[in-house]
């Protein structure tokens, strides 16, 4: 089969597209004919070696997947050939990635694709949606009518946080820096959309929620705790899920007297059953028209290196030319 892979760590140009062995499903595994594979910042870190995980070469890149079940191994109970599926957690902890004509993975990492979603759309919601859900509900314990702030509401995780918080009945504020992204955040239902380049964000948030923010979902790699903590409500929760190299200052005196919490997490630490809970809510919200994917740009499999470079330019490089997810199309796309 054709796949996008690397033979050693390097920059995006190290990605090759060529023939690798087609995997065969073992016990509990499903062979998926891939329609689309979405990529995320973790893909960049794994490719470069910045994040060290078990990995065998050639290593197929890609974290998220959507496609059609081609075959199932022994002991598979949830899927059969012909079923459309989506999922994440590929390419990590020793698993091969999703940017290939076929992938083989345990059925526990896969979920049924709602009929209304294309493979491109289904792949685009996988990691970002599960990450948003884990942060809001498993870590943040969000309740209806609470207030949520998420930085970067036009990003992959941010756009999911807005929609999930609104689906739960929360009030949501967010920031963006470009007109198309500001408009997207408004269309997703955010109650307050601020331009971080021109607005006094802390002052506007204090006006919007005088008692403070219940759940602050920080997506930026350099969290400013000196700003975040004083803006939390009593018993407020700050969710941190980015910033591997960040060493922010911490205003302790503003933190502990108000029973605040700072909660970090990484999606890949969660077991399949934990992530299944997230996926079930996502599927329900999609069928209710309360959650929709945001696809920014697609690349064919042959341009997997260009896809990763484009994502890197817009995340690490801050180019600002991406609104939504980057997706690699494979079979029938």
Inter-residue contact 260 to 238 (CB < 8 Å): yes
Residue 52: per-residue pLDDT: 85
User: How many Å apart are CA 322 and CA 174, to the nearest integer?
Assistant: 17
Q: Which parts of the chain sit beneath pLDDT 50?
A: none
Q: In this predicted structure, what is the pLDDT of residue 333?
A: 64
Q: Which residues pair with 149 in a beta bridge?
A: 173, 216
**What contacts 290, CB < 8 A, 6 or more positions away?**
163, 166, 167
pLDDT of residue 319: 65
pTM over 0.85: yes
How many other C-beta atoms are found inside a 10 Å radius of the C-beta of residue 274? 14
Is residue 97 within 8 A of residue 137, CB to CB? The reply is no
- The closest alpha carbon to 170, from 179, 178, 161, belongs to 161
Return the structure tokens found at 147. 């207030």
**How distant is the alpha carbon of residue 28 from its chain centre?**
26
Supply the pLDDT for residue 243.
Answer: 81
Would you state the structure tokens that stand for residue 216, as one six-digit string? 């602050």
């Amino acid at each position: 089969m054709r796949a996008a892979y690397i033979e050693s760590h390097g920059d995006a140009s190290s990605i090759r597209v060529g023939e690798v062995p087609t995997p065969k499903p073992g016990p509990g595994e499903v062979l998926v004919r891939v329609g689309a594979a979405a990529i995320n910042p973790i893909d960049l870190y794994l490719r470069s070696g910045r994040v060290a995980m078990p990995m065998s070469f050639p290593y197929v890149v890609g974290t998220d997947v959507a496609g059609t079940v081609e075959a199932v191994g022994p002991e598979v109970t949830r899927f059969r050939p012909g079923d459309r599926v989506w999922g994440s957690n590929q390419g990590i902890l020793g698993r091969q990635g999703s940017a290939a004509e076929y992938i083989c993975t345990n059925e526990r990492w896969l979920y049924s694709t709602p009929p209304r979603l294309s493979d491109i759309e289904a792949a685009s919601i996988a990691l970002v949606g599960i990450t948003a859900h884990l942060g809001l509900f498993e870590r943040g314990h969000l309740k209806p009518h609470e207030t949520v702030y998420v930085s970067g509401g036009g990003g992959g995780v941010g756009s999911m946080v807005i929609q999930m918080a609104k689906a739960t009945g929360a009030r949501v504020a967010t920031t963006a820096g470009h007109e198309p992204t500001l408009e997207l955040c408004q269309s997703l239902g955010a109650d307050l959309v601020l331009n971080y380049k021109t607005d006094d964000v802390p002052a506007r948030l204090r006006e919007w929620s005088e008692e403070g923010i219940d759940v602050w979902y920080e997506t930026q790699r350099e969290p400013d705790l000196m700003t975040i903590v004083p803006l939390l409500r009593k018993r407020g929760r700050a969710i941190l899920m980015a910033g591997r190299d960040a060493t922010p200052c911490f205003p302790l005196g503003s933190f502990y007297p108000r029973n605040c919490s700072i909660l970090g997490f990484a999606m890949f630490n969660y077991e399949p059953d934990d992530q299944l809970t997230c996926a079930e809510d996502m599927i329900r919200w999609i069928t209710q028209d309360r959650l929709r994917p945001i696809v920014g740009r697609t690349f064919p499999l042959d341009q997997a290196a260009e896809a990763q470079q484009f994502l890197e330019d817009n995340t690490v490089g801050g180019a600002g030319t991406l609104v939504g997810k980057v997706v690699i199309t494979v079979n029938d796309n």
